[in-house]
Structure 1
């Protein structure tokens, strides 16, 4: 599918509401109807490339981060300012992109990823559904440039909320644009090639850095400094690159434990806080979080989601008050299986990803037992088999 010659007009689809997409194989929470009255966001187009009708089409959401970072020194990789370079400069720094695809760009934000919040990711998810999933869409894929510190959170959120087969690729960099051997340009070019690849369809959201392709549900940042920081330690990468051409190790598929949500009628995400357990864990932080406005809490437990005996009465009190408590693990792998302790088990989701799924569950009106089923039922089925 191609953009028409009037590129932005052709992106009239950018404002279209997402159509309902069949995903019966996934556990789904859909609270929308065709008569939705919630106003959907409209894309603010800040960059358009020249149109080549023979090329596919990609939309880029730029949000800032190290990939858009800048410093006065080309050896500075720690004290630079994130979110300085805009979308147009990012694309112009990699002219090869325009040999691969037409580009419509939007400067959604320009900041370090620690400042990306629920409002921004919810807006991007709604825009993505309108851009990619509308019946008349002429967009082949979406790329999001993003700081690496919270990149996995945005990628996982998009994985749960973009409800069609079109690729969503989240990309960042570990070195700012001004650094010697900056990795951002190559990463961005590779992300674009994935976004337009037919082989990338029906794989959910993906993370592309350092010649690797990871599935968003399982990929996390594992090192504060190195270029190969994004890894899926147990599940592995789903693909890589040769001569800037993406290849995939396996046919297209979705993660076994993935859940999907329709965000069309969601106007905000509720506050969910993450607490980390440790020796002498101060469980009074649980009611303190609730008092501060938390509608749900995730505890990053030790091992397979364990926490102190002292915490149990606080957990039970929160559950009795209707506050979901999800037990996750602060380790880099493994699962937290259903335990029957009252708290909800996170399965394979780490604390930050558990938080996002709990936010969406609450925002779509799920009750306590529905939320428990969302997190636990699929894994419990394996344990009972």
Structure 2
């Protein structure tokens, strides 16, 4: 006799109950899969976003804040570096380039970031179309910015589109309104700079009434800068001539007046925190899976009582206890396997949706995928469920046929 026929008959007899059992397991599995896949997507996306920011030099403070300000374009009020430190870094002979980073204005909520053309070229690996800015009134926009080449932009002071309205002022202390012309589009970078309006650093210095790094009246932009006419800066991105130079520069600018660090150093600390959270959440997800399995199997035992008359007839016709055991075990295992498979698909869908949502919010390119960790988690859940499926089968296996007949 084929036990799968009895299993299929039970599924057809109670399809709604079976579907509920499968859904509970799928949700429990999806929780663990989604957490694992999303954590890895965040790790990979943030690493890729910071890849072109070789060495960051800033005033003493919180390195994490500087990374969020500079790499992820989440500006906050930070201390500016002393102009002497800035001029020294910008003119250091060991650097391939030293890119000053300035911010504080926005266009329709998009950050206006000041830097040099060489850093934009490295960040974007060349432009997608148009040309690089060549004057203080020109701008290159990120790949996700909707502005077209030739558009005229009027930035507002502050990091949001409502900064001026909130303050109730059209002008801020030391800030002058200015106009920008879009001359180029960057290629996609996979980081928040895809949603930035990038201008020569001199543009922001001029707008805030600061020395612009060049002689009075000189309209030149970019390096070399006049050390005597360089103002303070939130941060500088430095790329050394060699790896040895990079470590030497990091050590030299770790002083009471400045700090220097690789963004990866900060990201590792964030990853440690994410890893701890992921571990806790994964344990909770695993416990949830086990509890879901136990609840389902308790329901299976209760459901099987509805089939006692049928089981009695089957046993009276000569079916063995093993046949009955296999029929019930296959029913419970089918629920587990189907729930796990659907859980993997649901977990991936949830992670992909979360990644897409976070990408729109942060600008960091996130790609959720099912990897070895998720496969291992699903296999563990499936195997554990199949093993636990022997419990309701064994309980009914041990009952004598006379008990069914009564």
Per the shorter chain, which TM-score range? under 0.3
Which is richer in helix? 2
Q: Looking at both structures, which has the greater relative contact order when contacts are Cα pairs under 8 Å and sequence separation is at least 6?
A: 2
The higher radius of gyration belongs to 2
Task: State the TM-score, normalized to the length of structure 2.
Answer: 0.21
Which is richer in strand? 1
